[in-house]
Structure formats: C-alpha cells, structure tokens
C-alpha cells in the first residue's frame, strides 16, 4: 500500500498550491474508516481508494476530486455518513461522494425499465458535476486491473458491464487511453483465447520483423529532419482488443490489417502538423480512403488530430496520428483536461471543450422522454459511434453517428421534419431512405403533410433520437390496439398462476415501473415492451420460484419405451408435442433426446442408427401443456393482433412470448410462442386463426423463441 507522501509527491509538481494537509486528512479518515475490511484478494480494502486516487492524480485533477477518490466508498461500505463527510470535508466533496455512491448502486448493465430510469436520472445529475464520473471511471479501472480475485461469474458480469457502459463512456469523453485499457482488461476475461491468439501473433510478428517499431520511428524522424521540424515521434502496437475488433469488423486476417502498428507525431504548432503530414506522404504512399482530418473537423469531445495510413517499411501498413502538444493533452485526458493543473494554475487549453457540452447534447430531448429505455438506448448508441458530418441545403452542418440515414438526418433537424419525411436527395440525387450517409454529403429532405412515421422506419434509422420519435408516434397511433392486446396478455399470464387481471394489480405495476396508469402498462404489454412473465415477477415475486411456469427449451419427461428409471428430454430444435411420431436418440454425454420423426437434425444422425430408440408419448400425459411457436403474417390493421390473441386464449392455450420479426407498412410477420396440449389442440388453434380474413399465412415454427431475461446484457465479444 502506497503512503500518503507517495500519493502527494506528484501533486506538488503539477499543483504546488494544493491544500496537501486536507488531502492527508482525507487519507487518514479513509484509512481509519476501512480498518479491518479486506478485498476479495485478501489485501487491505483501503488499497483500492488509494489506487483510485493515484489514477485521479495521474489525470492532474483538483484536490476536491482527489479527496473524493480517497473517500468514495466510505458512505457505501463503512459506518460513515454523508453528513459526517460534509462536516469534515465540506459540501463540495460530500456532493461528489454522494454522486459516486449513487452511481455505484445503479445496476447500469440492466435493461429493465427501472434501471433505465435510474440511468437517465444519473445523466441529469452528472450534468451538474462530471467529476463524479471521472472518479467512477478511475474506480472501475482499478477494479478491472484486480478483477482476477473475483469468482469467474462475477468477473464476466463486471467485464460485460465495463465493455457495455464504462469503456464507451471513457471513449466518448475523449479519454482514449483509459478506454483502451478498460476494453482490453474486459477482453481478457470475456474472450481469453482470442486475446492470447492476438498476443501470440504479435510475438511471431516481432521475430519476423526484428522489432519494426524503432526502425519506423527512425525513418519518420529522418524525414521530419529534412523539413527542419521539431516534433516528438512515438510508436506502439495496438491493444489486442482493438486488433480483434478490427478483424471482426473488416472480416480480415491479422496480417491484412493496416493499423496493427500506431505512430504519433506531436508538433509545437498546428501548421507544423500539416507540414509533418506532407513529409510523411512524400516519403511513403498514402493508403486511399484512410485519411481523416479531425483538426479541421474536431470530434464532439474536443479530439483533434490528423489520421493517415501509409505503406511503410517493407510494405507494412502503419497508422500515423499527427497533432500538437495541446491537442495531445486533450487526446489523452479528454474532458478531464478541463480540471487539470500545471504549476498550480488551471490549464487553459484552447481545445478543451465544455465538459458538460456533450452530456447536455446527449440528454437533450430525452430528459422528459416518456420511455426511459429509449433514453438508455440512445445513450449507448451515442457513446459507441463515431460521427459523420453532413450539410443542409443552406450549408448548416449536422453531426450524426456513422451509419445514420436520411431519416436520422431529418429527425436531427426537427421531429416534425422527420415525421413528414417521404424521400431524400443526397448530393442532388434521389436515394432510398435507408441509404447510409457519408462525410461531406449534402442532404435535402422531401416532405409531405400527409406523411406519418411508418413501422418499417425503425429498422432504417440508427440514432436513438429518431428511434424514440418513431416509437412515440407509433405508440400514439396504435395505443388503443396495444391496450386491447395487453388486456389479453395480462389475463392469460395471470390466469396461469390462478390470479385475475384487475385494475388494482395493473396500477401496482404502473407505480413500480414509473408508468402513468394501468393503460400504460397494458399498452406496454401489447407492444411487447413488457412481457407477461415480467408482469408476474413484479406482482408476485415469491410465487415465481415455487411456480411451475412453462419451461422454455428441453424438458425431462417419461416416455413409453424407456427402461425403468430412464428419463428423456425433448429436443429444442424441433420441440415435439403429443400426437406426432417421435424417436429417441441416446448420446452418452447428453442422455436421451426426443426428436419429432421429421426433425431436420435426424439427418445428421443417420450413421448412428443403433442409438435410435422407438418411443411413444405416455398415455394420459401428465404434462398439461407443451411449448411451440406459430409464424403468422397478418394485415397491419386495427384490432387484428387483438383478435388473434383472443382466439388463442378462448381455445385454452397460453401465449408466453410474441416477437415482431418483420414490420412493413401493410403487413406484419410475427412469431407467437404458445403452450398447447397436443397436435390436435395446435391444429384447432391454427385453423381458427387461418379463417380470419386479415391473416395471410399461419405456419408452425419448430424452434422456440430465444428468451433474454431482464438485466442480461449480450456480450460484445464473440
């Protein structure tokens, strides 16, 4: 554990005017408060706050932030109160500690509505003081550096959360070094085999090239010397995760990537940066399409640099970044540079953006959003994406994330323009609305007063702002239909646990999910934003564990033809139901699996016929219902989905899931997961649906819908 003097030594250099005694006091207070507490590794717990403070000091932040880092876990994990912190260290530190504590308590990786709501509230609160996030990012960085002491399950959960939330946040704030380290530490847990493979390739490449980096640095220095430029040149290998992501995105092998090596030229003046660029291009051939000038078009977090890729020594493609010293400081620290000190004074860097500008822009228009999940999605989209710059016919610049379409462009200008969009002209040419926009294009939106947002638009747009606006308008138009469908889903969901759908029950759900009223709950059920199972969990959490809810996937059953004591499970690839012929397949590791006789997977097992077992469904099957799915193409009209749900319910089947897999202006294609007694029961249901004049196709789908529980975040790493 480092001493307080080791911690304050660098502070004396960049901020000699800091109140070091106050920092020592916070150190002593934190040490005493955490006495007796241990980390998962067995070390003293106070090692963690000190290391967080050390990261904050490396960012050259102010003394209030350093004290907050030392005290950030005292309110959460010790007997200290926020009032005590305020009395001893003042209201500024107390407010920062409170903000970090609240952020720690939020389950940011969860997609449940209540957590999305917390995430939105957090962004509103952080707009008052972004130093809360700087401490939390430092906290997460040290936790990731020491994550190996945790159980594997917790390592995976924390790593996914880091990859999903904290690394993109660091990147969006311009803190690229921290982002790269957070990503790579997460990558080490989530996909260790891939990471080790990249590292092995690097080792092989070093042997083959005899350590190419110093040679290329020398080549660049010689070329800059010819221009009499005073510049600092550095080089490095890219982080394993950065390489892996590019390999996945570009579908290319390791040796074909153009920027495995990265080199940086830091100059004194902006004009020197462009001279250096010219020198590099004269010495080596530039790779077409790999040039970006972020000096003339800075990123929203203040990042400025020239990026170019050239064919360097021995034909190896290398990326070169060129920027000034001031630009480099912002590139390393991002918005944290706003609080940095030098020689006891706040640094006045002309390239540091207002630290709250991005946060305000991010949450603008979503603070009052009626759907917190829309806000949550918008935030994640904004954090992950680089930007493209397009022009209106009047020459105004519109910033959009890469991958945005003309509909995104229209909504970025004004919601009314987006709602009335019927077409677009890009550089004077008519293009489809799903066209991805590129840097520098001029976009003109064609409008019609009679136009309304179409359900198909949602799959065309990329920005959270556009998605939210489209969903809001569609909800308004289809609200009455969704409420009708929601009533049926609520009825059948609660009926399977012996309960009734009442106004009081729905109002209870509305209160817990921060909805306005019971109709909002029904509308959410009808639009599949809320599922019937989630409804049960909210109203009757204790019943869920003891409840025999329909199981999704393979189930163990007894069949005629098995030996005494033997059990078999139904195959998830075909999910057979009573009334259709079945066959058992005995596999040593998996046991006996039951397939429908026409299951496609049986073709792969023809060579092992000796493992096939002739089985029959048990007479008087004790299972009350069996899962299956129907794929339905239906007219997009008022009340059609409601009629389908009612028909299924009236025929004694439960609806357990609905997936809108294809939405077009005229027809919807949906997959409904239901539980039936047998093949005859299923046939009766399909016949009753098929006779509806608004139904085009009704087919049985063999494979059960994949279910994603609330709070589960899909890994970003394959």
Please report the pLDDT score of residue 364 as a whole number: 54
Measured over all CA atoms, what is the biggest interatomic distance in the chain, rounded to whole angstroms? 92
Looking at residue 278, what is its pLDDT?
93
pLDDT of residue 547: 42
Query: Strands of 421-426's sheet, edge to edge?
Result: 429-431, 421-426, 443-447
Residues forming a β-bridge with 671 = 631, 659
Q: Write down the pLDDT at residue 708.
A: 37
Report the pLDDT value the prediction gives residue 607, as an integer from 0 to 100.
59
CATH code given to domain 4-105+128-189 = 1.10.3210.10
CA angle centred on 382, ends 100 and 349, rounded to 5°:
70
- Give the gyration radius of the chain's Cα atoms: 30
The span from the CA of 555 to the CA of 569, in Å, is: 5
The Cα 558–Cα 370 span in angstroms is 49
Burial 188-223 (b: 16+ CB within 10 A, else e): bbbbeebbeebeebeeebeeeeeebbeebbebbeeb
Separation between Cα atoms, residue 655 and residue 649, nearest integer Å: 8
The tokens for 564 are 């005494």
pLDDT of residue 715: 32
Q: Which residues are catalytic?
A: 76-77
CA dist., res. 624 & res. 555, Å (int) = 13
Helix-strand-coil split of the chain, %, nearest 5: 50, 20, 30
Count Cβ neighbours within 10 Å for each residue of 435-471 and write b for 16 or more, e otherwise. bebeeebebbbeeeeeeebbbbbbebbbbbbbbbbbb
In the 8-state DSSP scheme, what is residue 165? I
- Model pLDDT for residues 78-131, shown as the tens digit of each residue: 989 999 999 999 999 998 998 888 777 655 544 444 445 555 555 655 656 778
Q: Which CATH superfamily is domain 626-701 in?
A: ACT domain (3.30.70.260)
Tell me what pLDDT residue 667 has. 73
Domain boundaries for CATH 3.30.70.260 within the chain: 626-701
- Third-level CATH fold of 193-346: Beta Polymerase; domain 2 (3.30.460)
Burial 262-297 (b: 16+ CB within 10 A, else e): bbbbbbeeeebbbbbbebbeeebebbeeeeebbbee
**Phi, psi dihedrals of residue 110, rounded to the nearest 5°:** -85, 140
Q: Strand 582-587: give its sheet, edge to edge.
A: 556-557, 568-570, 591-596, 582-587, 612-615
Looking at the DSSP bridge assignments, the partners of residue 285 are 311
* Distance (Å, whole) CA 630 – CA 508: 32
Q: What count of residues does the chain have?
A: 718
Nearest to 465, CA basis, from 422, 540, 405, 390: 405
Residue numbers in the chain where pLDDT is lower than 70:
105-128, 208-210, 248-259, 300, 313-315, 338-349, 352-387, 528, 542-558, 565, 588-590, 603-610, 619-624, 663-666, 703-718
- Percent of the chain at pLDDT above 90? 21
CATH 3.30.460.10 residue ranges of the chain are 193-346
């Amino acid at each position: 554990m480092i001493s307080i003097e080791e911690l304050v030594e660098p502070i004396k250099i960049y901020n000699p005017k800091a109140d070091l005694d106050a920092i020592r006091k916070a150190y002593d207070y934190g040490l005493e408060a955490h006495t007796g507490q241990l980390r998962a590794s067995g070390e003293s717990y106070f090692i963690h706050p000190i290391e967080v403070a050390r990261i904050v000091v490396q960012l050259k932040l102010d003394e209030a932030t350093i004290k907050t880092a030392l005290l950030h876990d005292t309110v959460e994990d010790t007997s200290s109160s926020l009032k005590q912190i305020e009395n001893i260290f003042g209201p500024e530190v107390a407010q920062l500690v409170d903000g970090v504590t609240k952020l720690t308590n939020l389950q940011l990786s969860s997609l449940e509505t209540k957590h999305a709501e917390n995430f939105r509230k957090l962004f509103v609160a952080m707009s008052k003081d972004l130093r809360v996030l700087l401490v939390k990012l430092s906290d997460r960085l040290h936790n990731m550096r020491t994550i190996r002491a945790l159980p594997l399950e917790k390592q995976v959960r924390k790593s996914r959360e880091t990859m999903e939330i904290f690394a993109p946040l660091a990147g969006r704030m311009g803190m690229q070094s921290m982002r790269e380290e957070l990503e790579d530490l997460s990558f080490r847990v989530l996909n260790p085999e891939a990471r080790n493979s990249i590292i092995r390739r690097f080792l092989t490449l070093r042997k083959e090239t005899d350590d190419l980096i110093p040679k290329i640095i020398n080549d660049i220095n010689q070329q800059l010397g010819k221009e009499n430029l005073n510049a600092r040149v550095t080089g490095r290998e890219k982080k394993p995760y950065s390489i892996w992501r590019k390999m996945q995105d570009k579908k290319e092998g390791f040796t074909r990537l153009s920027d495995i090596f990265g080199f940086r030229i830091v100059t004194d003046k902006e004009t020197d940066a462009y001279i250096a660029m010219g020198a590099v291009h004269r010495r080596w051939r530039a790779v077409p399409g790999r040039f970006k000038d972020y000096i003339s078009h800075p990123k929203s977090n203040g990042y400025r640099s020239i990026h170019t890729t050239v064919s360097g020594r021995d034909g190896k493609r290398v990326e070169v970044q060129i920027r000034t010293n001031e630009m480099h400081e912002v590139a390393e620290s991002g918005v944290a540079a706003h609080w940095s000190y030098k020689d006891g004074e706040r640094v006045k860097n002309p390239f540091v953006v207002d630290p709250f500008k991005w946060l305000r822009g991010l949450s603008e228009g979503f603070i009052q959003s009626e759907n917190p999940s829309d806000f949550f999605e918008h935030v994640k989209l904004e954090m992950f994406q680089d930007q493209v710059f397009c022009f209106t016919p009047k020459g105004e610049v519109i910033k959009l994330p890469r991958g945005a379409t003309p509909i995104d462009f229209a909504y970025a200008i004004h919601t009314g323009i987006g709602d009335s969009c019927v077409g677009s002209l890009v550089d004077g040419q008519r293009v489809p609305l799903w066209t991805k926009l590129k840097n520098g294009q001029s976009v003109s939106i064609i409008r019609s007063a009679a136009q309304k947002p179409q359900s198909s638009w949602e799959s065309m747009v990329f920005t959270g702002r556009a998605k939210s606006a489209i969903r809001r308008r569609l909800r308004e138009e289809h609200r009455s239909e969704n409420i009708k469908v929601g009533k049926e889903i609520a009825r059948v969901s609660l009926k399977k646990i012996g309960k009734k759908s009442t106004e009081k029950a729905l109002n209870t759900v509305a209160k817990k999910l921060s909805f306005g009223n019971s109709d909002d709950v029904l509308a959410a059920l009808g639009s599949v934003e809320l599922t019937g199972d989630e409804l049960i969990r909210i109203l009757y959490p204790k019943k869920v564990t003891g409840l025999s809810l329909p199981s999704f996937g393979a189930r163990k059953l007894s069949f005629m033809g098995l030996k005494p004591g033997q059990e078999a499970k139904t195959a998830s690839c075909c999910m057979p139901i009573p009334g259709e012929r079945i066959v058992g397949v005995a596999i040593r590791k998996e046991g006996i699996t039951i397939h429908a006789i026409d299951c496609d997977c049986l073709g792969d097992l023809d060579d092992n016929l000796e493992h096939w077992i002739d089985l029959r469904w048990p007479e008087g099957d004790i299972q009350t219902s069996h899962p299956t799915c129907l794929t339905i193409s239906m007219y997009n009209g008022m009340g059609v989905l409601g009629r389908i749900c009612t028909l299924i319910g009236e025929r004694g089947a439960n609806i357990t899931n609905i997936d809108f897999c294809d939405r077009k202006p005229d027809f919807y294609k949906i997959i409904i997961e239901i539980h039936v007694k047998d093949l005859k029961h299923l046939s009766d249901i399909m016949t009753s649906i098929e006779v509806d004049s608004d139904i085009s196709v009704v087919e049985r789908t063999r494979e059960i819908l994949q279910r994603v529980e609330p709070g589960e975040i899909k890994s970003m790493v394959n």
